[in-house]
Amino acid sequence: MNEPGVEVEGMRVVFDGVTALGDVSLSIEAGEFFTLVGPSGCGKTTMLRSIAGLTEGADGSVAIDGRDVTSAPPEARNVGMVFQNYALFPHMSVHENVAYGLRFHDIEGRSEDERVAELLDLVDLSGVADRSPEQLSGGQQQRIALARALAPEPDVLLLDEPLSALDAKLRKQLRVQIKTIQQELSITTIYVTHDQAEALALSDRVAVMHGGNVEQVAAPETVYRDPASRFVAEFVGDNNLFDGTVTDDGMGVAVDGATLPLAADAGVSAGESVTVAVRPEAITVVGGANGAGSPDSTLEATVETVEFLGDAYRAHCRWQDRRVEVKTAAAEQPAGDVTLRFDAADTQVL
């Protein structure tokens, strides 16, 4: 059994009649990198702020490393926080900004200067201690904000969209750095993002949120390959969704005259109405119309728009009155009338 890191029980937050969180419980292990992901307004920030003790009128309990902190003010919870917009003090040097994180904390065995130097080294910015924040790039400022949050050796690190103000390339670089530092320190980390790719890339586990509730908590691979709900299937992995009826032999789903194959262990019964999710990369383009493959597991579709992604093409196809999105690593751009093949191992019944 792993040690508990952050335990949230029955968190409910209502702002002026708007339910931001409706009775959410989460159990995060010590040392885990845990991400809250979901669209704008789903309650991610409210959850993070409630764990930090910054939400007034939050109903529910919070325990950190087994300590009940429900009634504790933010400064007594021993959490470090990094926000989207740098939030460094502009009139203080980098050194002073990081030292500010230490103002109420003595770090055993080290002077303030030693601790600041250690943190600047950790975020790989030892050379900029005397600069002011405005002399740093956005990415560097976020690394300093991270160093400041980590200075007092918090039990939990809370990160609220820390990369969203940065350009795409920097975002990817910095997310690797955050993950590396998190692993080095083994610090329990809760990360908020609306970017599913970022959530999947960084996390040990992900909580997918929607409308103030959690729809699924699982490892990134599970959320991606085995989404628990229609919402998760659409939000993570851009799944194609098909509504249909399970065939008499239980091996397929009849959808508008076609049959999509089901795995033998799909756990459905004949005649049942189901929704099937299929990821774009799990569909194979097998050539032009009437292409190879079993007729039972193919659709005849027409390519409408193609995006070149570098390592693959994303083809937006039309089948009857539906859109079907296909991602193919084929060397040639798919075009015109195509046959799309489905594999039983890649159809998920929701």
Which residues contact ligand ATP (rule: CB under 6 A)? 15-16, 18, 20, 38, 40-46, 194
Q: Closest separation between CB of residue 127 and ligand ATP, Å?
A: 34
In whole angstroms, what is the distance from residue 331 CA to residue 169 CA? 25
Please say which residue, 142 or 347, places its beta carbon nearer to ligand ATP: 142
| Shortest Cβ 23–ligand ATP spacing (Å) | 14
DSSP 8-state assignment for residue 227:
-
Closest CA to 251 of 301, 282, 294: 294
Q: Are 5 and 154 in contact (CB under 8 A)?
A: no
Among 236, 344, 240, 245, which residue's Cα sits nearest to residue 301?
Answer: 240
Q: Which residue, 32 or 160, has its beta carbon nearer to ligand ATP?
A: 160
Question: Which residue lies nearer to ligand ATP by CB, 45 or 189?
Answer: 45
| Pair 325, 238: CB distance under 8 Å | yes
DSSP state of 333: P
Cβ atoms within 10 A of the Cβ of 66, count?
Answer: 10
> What Å distances lie between residue 128 and 44, 87, 180, 190, 198, CA to CA?
33, 17, 21, 28, 28
Please give the helix or strand (H or E) that residue 178 lies within, else none: helix 168-185
Q: Which is nearer to ligand ATP, 216 or 348 (CB)?
A: 216
Identity of the residue, 49 or 175, whose beta carbon is nearer to ligand ATP in the bound complex: 49
Q: Which is nearer to ligand ATP, 43 or 154 (CB)?
A: 43
Residue 206 beta carbon to ligand ATP: minimum distance, rounded to whole angstroms: 14
Q: How far is the CB of 39 from ligand ATP (least distance, A)?
A: 7
Please report where in the chains the tokens 């099937």 appear, as a residue.
276
Query: Least distance to ligand ATP from the beta carbon of 84, Å?
Result: 8
Tell the smallest beta-carbon distance from residue 17 to ligand ATP (Å): 9
Structure tokens at 65: 């490393």
